[in-house]
Amino acid sequence: MAAQKGRDMVLKIGSGGESETFATIGAIRTNNMTLNNNPVDTTTTGDAGIQTMLADAGVQSMSISADGIFKDDTAEETLRAAAFARTSKNFELLFPNGDKYAAAFVVQDYNRTGAHDNAETFSVTLVRSGAGTFTPAA
């Protein structure tokens, strides 16, 4: 795989409408997606001290963290409302090569920071709720 520009990784939040539209969440400076697979340890005394895992039996989790500067009020208001309401919202994570991952996420952490001589910034951590859909680039 060729190197990809990190700045082209885009996080979008859904409007929640019947015909859902997605808005880009600000000028994100850093994005991070973490996929955790927690297999089940099935090691027994007969395994001679070598760990044995049942790969597809555990819980899979995913989180996305991002920080940056909001580019407009709409995305900030939607994200803030989801954080305060403790509800899940649909998000899309677009990768530079054209791949897309879409799922419902809950806001785990939401921070806003501002200095008197600089722009207000934010950071957010999202935790997936339920299954998602990975769509490879066409």
d(CA 102, CA 114): 30
Residue 123 lies in a domain: yes
Residue 46 lies in a domain: no
Structure tokens at 95: 């990768």
d(CA 10, CA 100): 10
pTM here? 0.82
The CATH number of residue 106's host domain is: 4.10.410.40
Residue 1 lies in a domain: no
Residue 87 lies in a domain: yes
The answer to whether 76 and 29 are in contact (CB under 8 A) is no
Residue 42 lies in a domain: no
Residue 65 lies in a domain: yes
Residue 30 lies in a domain: yes
Domain range for 80:
7-36+53-131
Residue 48 lies in a domain: no
Q: What is the pLDDT of residue 20?
A: 92
Contact residues for 46 (Cβ-Cβ < 8 A; gap 6+):
none
Per-residue pLDDT of the chain (138 residues; tens, 9 = 90+): 666 665 667 889 998 888 999 988 877 888 888 999 888 999 999 999 999 998 888 889 999 999 988 777 777 788 889 999 999 999 999 888 889 999 999 999 999 888 888 888 889 999 999 999 999 988
- Give percent helix, percent strand, percent coil of the chain, each to the nearest 5: 15, 50, 35
Work out how many domains the chain is built from and give that number.
1
